Every structure is written in C-alpha cells, then in structure tokens.
Amino acid sequence: MNTNPFEILEAKLDALAVDVRTLKSRTKEAPTDEIGGLELAEAVTGLSRSTLYKKTHRREIPHRHVGGRLYFKRAELLAWLEAGRRPMAEEIAHERMAGNK
C-alpha cells in the first residue's frame, strides 16, 4: 500500500496548527505586571469610574499619579481585592473547630 507523502505531511501540519492555536490561547491571559489607566482598574475591580476616583483621592486603592493621570498595576489591584476578602462560613467553622482541639 503506497501512501502519499503529501497526505502525511498535511496531517502533521494540521496537528502542528492545532498545537500553535492551543499555545496562543494560553498566552492571551492578561499579564499580572500590566499597567493601565482607569479602564484597567474598572475591568479588574468592577468598580465605576467615579468610585475609583473617590478611592484614589482617599488613598484607599493602590495607584500612581503621574503627569495628572492615574495608573494602576493589575497585580496590585488583584492583591488589594484579595486583601479585602472575607472568609466563608465554612472556613470560619473549620478554624473554630481547629481551635477547640
């Protein structure tokens, strides 16, 4: 049985194209060191523009003020959100049970 070498080559190229698409989809994740303006802060926190202005004025949210513009780091915003996380009831119950031992 003779197989066409071009069919084998085409199959390998198709497999390679699938692998490349998979790798590209993984790299579309936002980098944690990304720096942006209010649009980034709105996207990461879900807060409105006016709320972000208030929080920056009160210095309640990590930011930079350079040349009259506000800048935010994605990693700092994510850390700020995580720091405000309240424990779930299950976590509190687990901690209480651990303390009773």
CA distances from 52 to 41, 90, 94 (A): 8, 32, 35
Which pTM value belongs to this model?
0.59
pLDDT of residue 19: 85
Q: Is the dihedral of CA 71, 75, 81, 83 positive or negative?
A: negative
Reduced to 3 states, what is the DSSP secondary structure of residue 53? helix
pLDDT at 99 over 80: no
- Give residue-wise pLDDT tens across range 3-40: 787 888 888 888 888 888 888 777 666 666 899 999 99
Mean pLDDT of 81-94: 85
Calpha distance 72→34 (Å, rounded) = 8
Q: What are residue 69's DSSP bridge partners? A: 66
pLDDT band at 91 (very low <50, low <70, confident <90, very high): confident
